[in-house]
Structure 1
Amino acid sequence: MSETAQPTPVADERIKEIAGWRKALIRPELGGIVGTVAVFVFFLIFAADSGMFSAQGVLNWSVVSAQFMIIAVGACLLMIAGEFDLSVGSMIGFSGMMIAIFSVTLGWPVWMAILVTFALAIAIGALNGFIVIRTGLPSFIVTLAFLFILRGFTIYLPQTIERKTIIGGVSDVAQGDWLAPVFGGKILTGFFTWMGEAGLIQVFDRGNRAGQPVVDGIPMLIVWAILLVIFGHILLTRTRFGNWIFAAGGDAQAARYVGVPVNRVKILMFMFTAFCATVFATCQVMEFGSAGADRGLLKEFEAIIAVVIGGALLTGGYGSVIGAALGALIFGVVQQGLFFAGVESSLFRVFLGVILLCAVILNTYIRRMITGER
Structure 2
Amino acid sequence: MNTTNSVPVTSVPAGGQNIKASIGQLSRRPEAGSLLGLIAVFVFFALVGGQAFLSSAGYASWLNVAAEIGIVALPVGLLMIAGEMDLSIGAVIPAASLTVAIISGHYGLPEIVGVFAGLGVGLIVGFLNGYMVNRTGVPSLIVTIGSMFGVMGLTLGFTVLIAGSTGVSLVPSQTVKAILGDFVGGMFQVTIFWWALFVAAFFYLLHISPVGNWILALGGDKVSARNAGIPTARLTTALYMLSGFSAAFVGISQVFVYQSAQVLAGQSFIFNSIMCVVIGGVLLTGGAGSVVGIVLGTLTFAIVNQGIYFTGIDPNLGSVIIGALLLLAVMMNDRFRLMAMSYAAKKKE
- TM-score w.r.t. the length of structure 1 is 0.81
Q: Percent identity?
A: 36
Secondary structure of the equivalent of 2:264?
coil
Aligned to 2:3: none
Aligned to 1:35: 37
Aligned to 1:156: 157
Q: How far has the Cα of 1:290 moved from its partner?
A: 0.4
- In 1: Cα distance, 2:39 partner to 2:261 partner: 36
Aligned to 2:189: 219
Q: How far has the Cα of 1:369 moved from its partner?
A: 6.0
Change (3 A) 1:248 1:27: same
- In 2: Cα distance, 1:33 partner to 1:367 partner: 13
Contact 1:249–1:315, Cα closer than 8 Å, also in 2? yes
| One-letter amino acid of the counterpart of residue 36, structure 1 | L
| One-letter amino acid of the counterpart of residue 245, structure 2 | F
Q: How far has the Cα of 1:218 moved from its partner?
A: 4.5
Aligned to 1:138: 139
Aligned to 1:90: 91
| One-letter amino acid of the counterpart of residue 238, structure 1 | I
Contact 1:111–1:180, Cα closer than 8 Å, also in 2? no
The CA deviation string for residues 231-251 of structure 1, in whole angstroms up to 9 with x for no partner, is 111211111011111111111
The CA deviation string for residues 155-195 of structure 1, in whole angstroms up to 9 with x for no partner, is 22222222211111x12xx225x5453211356xxxxxxxx
Out of 172, 175, 178, the residue aligned to residue 173 of structure 2 is 175
- In 1: Cα distance, 2:267 partner to 2:238 partner: 24
Out of 235, 243, 246, the residue aligned to residue 265 of structure 1 is 235
Contact 2:95–2:121, Cα closer than 8 Å, also in 1? no
- In 2: Cα distance, 1:28 partner to 1:275 partner: 28
Aligned to 1:347: 317
Q: Unaligned 5+ residue runs, structure 2?
A: 1-20, 343-349
Change (3 A) 1:371 1:254: farther
| One-letter amino acid of the counterpart of residue 175, structure 1 | S
Aligned to 2:261: 291
**CA RMSD, 1 decimal:** 2.2
Contact 2:126–2:243, Cα closer than 8 Å, also in 1? yes
- In 2: Cα distance, 1:120 partner to 1:72 partner: 19
Q: How does 1:98-137 map to 2 (within 5 A)?
A: 98-137=99-138
Aligned to 1:361: 331
302-311 vs 355-364, which deviates more? Answer: 355-364
The CA deviation string for residues 29-74 of structure 1, in whole angstroms up to 9 with x for no partner, is 122201110011101111113x121122211221011112111111
Contact 1:250–1:317, Cα closer than 8 Å, also in 2? yes
- In 1: Cα distance, 2:27 partner to 2:152 partner: 40
Secondary structure of the equivalent of 1:295?
coil
345-354 vs 314-323, which deviates more? Answer: 345-354
Q: Which has the higher helix share?
A: 2
Out of 262, 265, 274, the residue aligned to residue 244 of structure 2 is 274
Tell me how many residue pairs correspond in the alignment.
Answer: 323
Out of 320, 329, 345, the residue aligned to residue 299 of structure 2 is 329
The CA deviation string for residues 241-269 of structure 1, in whole angstroms up to 9 with x for no partner, is 11111111111111112211111111111
Contact 1:68–1:331, Cα closer than 8 Å, also in 2? no
- TM-score w.r.t. the length of structure 2 is 0.86
- In 1: Cα distance, 2:123 partner to 2:201 partner: 18
Secondary structure of the equivalent of 1:62?
helix
- In 2: Cα distance, 1:308 partner to 1:25 partner: 18
- In 2: Cα distance, 1:315 partner to 1:369 partner: 19
Contact 1:110–1:180, Cα closer than 8 Å, also in 2? no
Aligned to 1:319: 289
Contact 1:313–1:363, Cα closer than 8 Å, also in 2? no
Secondary structure of the equivalent of 1:46?
helix
